[in-house]
């Protein structure tokens, strides 16, 4: 049971030493920092900083008796309630942020065209957005025949393929745009 409790506390965001302190205090009930640190196997100052954090998060309570601070764990229901409230806050924040998400921002994106129709549609849309006699650079060389496979008889209507200068790479090419569709 203890390994499952440790795992669950870790999934809730508790760090390893926080788990040790939380479980030590759970077992001890009410205790002073020195006793909690000893049970958790941590330095007293480390335990005190963790106890302070857990108190601020609402997971435990303190009281002073004869000048000494004593700690005790709140009911497990308090722990559940804290996370339920965080979930509600996150849900509310989601609603607020949804309206701002990518609003007015320029973010990179990628589209994949892996069918003949998709490649043709993409290329035609790029040609329509480009000035006549512009150079259209591609990763696939136009002379390799892939443009003819996609455009068939429409190829010359869109592109003028440059004469092979012997310098072009088989994986890179350029074509001059003939006309706007």
pLDDT digits (tens, 9 = 90+) for 26-36: 999 899 999 99
Rounded to whole angstroms, how far apart are CA atoms 144 and 156?
A: 15
What ranges do the domains of the chain cover?
2-84, 116-177
SS3 68: strand
Q: What is the mean pLDDT of residues 29-51?
A: 95
Q: What is the pLDDT of residues 137-178, one digit of tens each?
A: 665 555 556 665 666 555 555 555 555 544 444 444 555 555
Confidence band of 13 (pLDDT split at 50, 70, 90): confident
Q: Which CATH number fits domain 2-84: 1.10.10.10, 3.30.460.10, 1.20.1290.10, 3.40.50.10490?
A: 1.10.10.10
Does the pLDDT value for residue 49 go beyond 90?
Answer: yes
- Size of the chain in residues: 181
């Amino acid at each position: 049971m203890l390994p499952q409790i440790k795992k669950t506390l870790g999934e809730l965001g508790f760090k390893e030493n926080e788990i040790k302190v939380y479980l030590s205090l759970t077992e001890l009930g009410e205790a002073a920092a020195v006793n909690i640190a000893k049970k958790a196997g941590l330095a007293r100052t480390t335990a005190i900083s963790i106890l302070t954090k857990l108190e601020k998060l609402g997971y435990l309570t303190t009281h002073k008796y004869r000048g000494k601070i004593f700690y005790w764990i709140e009911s497990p229901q308090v722990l559940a309630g804290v996370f339920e409230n965080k979930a509600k806050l996150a849900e509310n924040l989601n609603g607020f942020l949804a309206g701002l998400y990518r609003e007015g921002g320029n973010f990179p994106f990628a589209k994949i065209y892996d069918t003949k129709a998709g490649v043709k549609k993409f290329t035609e849309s790029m040609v329509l957005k480009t000035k006549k006699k512009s150079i259209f650079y591609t990763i696939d060389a136009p002379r390799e025949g892939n443009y003819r496979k996609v455009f068939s008889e429409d190829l010359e209507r869109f592109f003028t393929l440059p004469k092979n200068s012997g310098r072009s790479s088989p994986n890179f090419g350029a074509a001059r745009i003939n006309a706007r569709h």
